[in-house]
Each structure stands twice: as structure tokens, then as C-alpha cells.
Amino acid sequence: MGFEHKIAPSILSADFARLGEEIRRVEEAGADLIHFDVMDGHFVPNLSIGVPVLKSLRKITRLPLDAHLMISEPARYLRAFAEAGANLISVHAEACDDLPGIAGQIRALGARASVAINPETRVERVLAAAEHLDMILVMSVHPGFGGQGFIGESLEKLRAVRSEIERRGLKLDIEIDGGVKIDNIAAVAAAGANVFVSGSGIFGHGDYRKIIAEMRERVARA
Ligand code: DX5
Ligand code: ZN
């Protein structure tokens, strides 16, 4: 895996009344992953979608499903998401005590394991568990809502994560999530991310194929 660039549309900004069609459209437009935001109204001040929706989507797309669990006590729901068809599961460092332990549980369920950190959480917290992870997710907004502005300090965090995992010779993916758009994706790539979540930056655009192709071109040149 390593540094392959992957574009991950966040369906939080899709039209939920036509979700299957929206996913087919981004799949045809060249998306690499489907980013699936789960919110519990407790870990974040919003509610979104959960296991039954993921299970239905599993039947209509071949793309890997990237489940981002913005929930308290994520360990209670890992099995349900894995069995519903999540390929990659991100839990939040702020919601877990034992990161290697929860990563091991995710892998034992057959999914790839990832830990997300909020803007106020230090990179050291997740780097301490990096050997147990397939991906690190750096949040560049406060989780809970699509369409927020990118927090500039996140670039420094990406650089710190990238240089440390390279220093240790690890091959994990680095995902960035929040406020990623065509005008900042090159900077985000240059700072070290290789998996780019974009919700409003893709679904807010009329032509998914064009915007995904342009994003890919900019990260390739970064
Ligand atoms: C925010 C979610 C994001 C969100 C990104 O809490 O985790 O995945 O959908 O949306 P944009 O790209 O619009 O910031
Ligand atoms: Zn997300």
C-alpha cells in the first residue's frame, strides 16, 4: 500500500435520497474508496448513518468501504461494521484507551485498522501505536459536520506523522479528513497524506469525474 494516492469521497455530503446512485457515480468517476462517516450524537454533536446503511451499500459497490467511527465506545460496534462489510475501520484515539488492543480486534475481524486523531490531539498518541495500524487518520476539522474550513495546523501534523513513519520504515496509509478541496489538496499531499477524504469538495461539484481527475492530477504533481 504505502504512498499510493487514493481519493475517498465522503458520502456525508451526498444526496441521501439517492445514495446508491451517488456511490455508483463516484465509483464510475474514479473514486478509490467510499468514506462512510458514522456519528453517534455523543462523541460528536451530530447523528449520521450506521450499520444497516453500510450493509446495503456493500451490495452495490466493489470499492472498499472506509468506516470512520466518530462514536464513543467503538469496540462495541466493530464486529457489526466488519460483518456488514467495512474494509477499513477508523476509531478515534479520544474514544479509546488501548489503541494496540482495539487495532488487534479490528484486524482479527478481517478489516484494516486505523486510528483517527482530532485537531487538538497530539500525533504522539497515535504514533505510539503505529506498528499496529494500517492507517492513521488526521482530522483537519473538528469532527461532526461536512463543509467546514480546513485547519491549517493539520499540515504540520501530517509532516510529523509522515516523517516518523518513514523514520521507522512503516508502510501505513495517512488519511486526511476535513475541508479538503481542489485548492488545498496539493499542499495536503506535499505534507504527507496519501488518502484524501473529500465530502463537499466532491459532492458539491457538478461533475464528479472532472473534479476527481483534477484532484488526482494535483496530488500527482505535488
Ligand atoms: C467530518 C467528517 C468528514 C466530512 C468531510 O466530521 O468526518 O468525513 O464528511 O467533509 P468535507 O470534505 O466537506 O469537510
Ligand atoms: Zn470522516
User: Tell me, what's the pLDDT at 101?
Assistant: 98
User: Tell me, what's the pLDDT at 2?
Assistant: 45
Please give the residue range of the domain that contains residue 123.
6-221
Identify the segments of the chain with pLDDT beneath 70.
Answer: 1-2
Provide the number of structural domains found in the chain: 1
Catalytic residue check, 66: no
Alpha-helical (H) ranges within 29-176 are: 51-58, 78-84, 99-108, 123-127, 154-167
Of the listed ligands, the closest to the CA of 179 is 1
Pocket of ligand 1 (CB under 6 A): 10, 12-13, 35, 37, 68, 141, 143-148, 177-180, 197-201
Provide the residue count of the chain: 222
Residue nearest to atom 1 of ligand 1 (CA): 143
Supply 65's cell numbers: 468501504
- Does 201 map to a domain? yes
Q: Kindly give the distance from the C-alpha atom of residue 198 to the centroid of ligand 1, in angstroms, as a whole number.
A: 7
- Does 1 map to a domain? no
Q: Kindly give the distance from the C-alpha atom of residue 177 to the centroid of ligand 1, in angstroms, as a whole number.
A: 6
- Does 43 map to a domain? yes
Instruction: Looking at the CA of residue 179, tell me the nearest atom of ligand 1.
Output: 14
- Does 202 map to a domain? yes
- Does 141 map to a domain? yes
From 32, 173, 177, 183, the catalytic residue: 177
* CATH number of the structural domain spanning residue 216: 3.20.20.70
Catalytic residue check, 37: yes
From 37, 66, 134, 173, the catalytic residue: 37
User: Tell me, what's the pLDDT at 1?
Assistant: 40
Q: Name the residue of 7, 37, 208 whose CB sits within 8 Å of the most ligand 1 atoms, as the mutation to test its pocket.
A: 37
Q: Kindly give the distance from the C-alpha atom of residue 84 to the centroid of ligand 1, in angstroms, as a whole number.
A: 22
Task: Please answer whether residues 35 and 46 qualify as being in contact, where contact means their C-beta atoms are separated by less than 8 angstroms.
Answer: no
- Does 40 map to a domain? yes
User: Tell me, what's the pLDDT at 3?
Assistant: 76
Rounded Cα distance, 209 and 220, in Å: 16
Q: Kindly give the distance from the C-alpha atom of residue 73 to the centroid of ligand 1, in angstroms, as a whole number.
A: 21
- pLDDT tens digits, one per residue of 81-104: 999 999 999 999 999 999 999 999
Rounded Cα distance, 187 and 9, in Å: 18
For 99-125, b/e burial (b = at least 16 CB within 10 A) is beebbebbbebebbbbbbbbeebebee
